[in-house]
Amino acid sequence: MKKTVSIAVIASALTFAGAAALNAQSITSHNSNAPVNYAADRIELQDRQNRVVLSGNVNIEQGGLNMRAARTTVAYRNQGSLQIDRIDATGGVTVAKGNERASGNVAVYDFNRRIITVVGNVALRRGTDTLNGGRLVIDLRTGRSTIDGRSSGSSAPGGQTGNNGRVSGSFSVPQSTD
């Protein structure tokens, strides 16, 4: 049974901070001041380690940005109020907003650097446009996303993920009316 996690102290402190809005349908343009909502089958608060582990159908939502995974670990600091340092997500990770969706094996959201990194069998979709590779880096400060053919930490030879170390994809073009 899926349960919505509601821990007032953590929920009030878990906010994304400061990303510039560049495109209304882009992952980089979410409302960084909106509250963070969690849903998972199980939550474990590891207070001495300053982390929260969510497992089983994890959904993290904040300002229209959704992250889904089998498991996430939220590392935080308690300096009078809780501040997230990082979210590590594993197991069929998807990060989506509007018509943009990034998926891969693992994702890390580094709150201090404002960077989301997705690694392993990466697919980036915006409408009908597609990009595939090994590693995607989304810089929320600049609005720039970079996709590489190789992913670090891959178990495939040379760090490849079945794409021969190359980025591939498809872009739509306007249809001619002739």
Rounded average pLDDT over 127-135: 91
Going by C-alpha positions, the residue among 94, 95, 100 that lies closest to residue 25 is 100
C-beta atoms surrounding 27 within 10 Å: 26
pTM of the model: 0.75
What is the per-residue pLDDT across 95-129, written as a single tens digit (0 to 9) for each? Answer: 998 889 999 999 998 888 888 899 999 999 988 88
Q: Of 52-61, 145-154, 158-167, which has the strongest mean pLDDT? A: 52-61
178 compared with 5, residue with greater pLDDT: 178
Q: Residue 44 corresponds to which tokens in the numbers above?
A: 């474990």
pLDDT of amino acid 19 = 27
Domain formed by 3-170, architecture: Sandwich (2.60)
Report whether 69 contacts 91 (CB < 8 A): yes
Looking at per-residue confidence, does 72 or 140 come out higher?
72
The residue length of the chain stands at 178
pLDDT, tens digit, for every residue of 6-63?
333 233 223 222 222 233 346 766 555 567 788 999 999 999 999 999 999 999 987 7
CA distances from 115 to 28, 68, 164, 171 (A): 10, 17, 26, 25
Handedness of CA 152, 158, 163, 166 (dihedral sign): positive
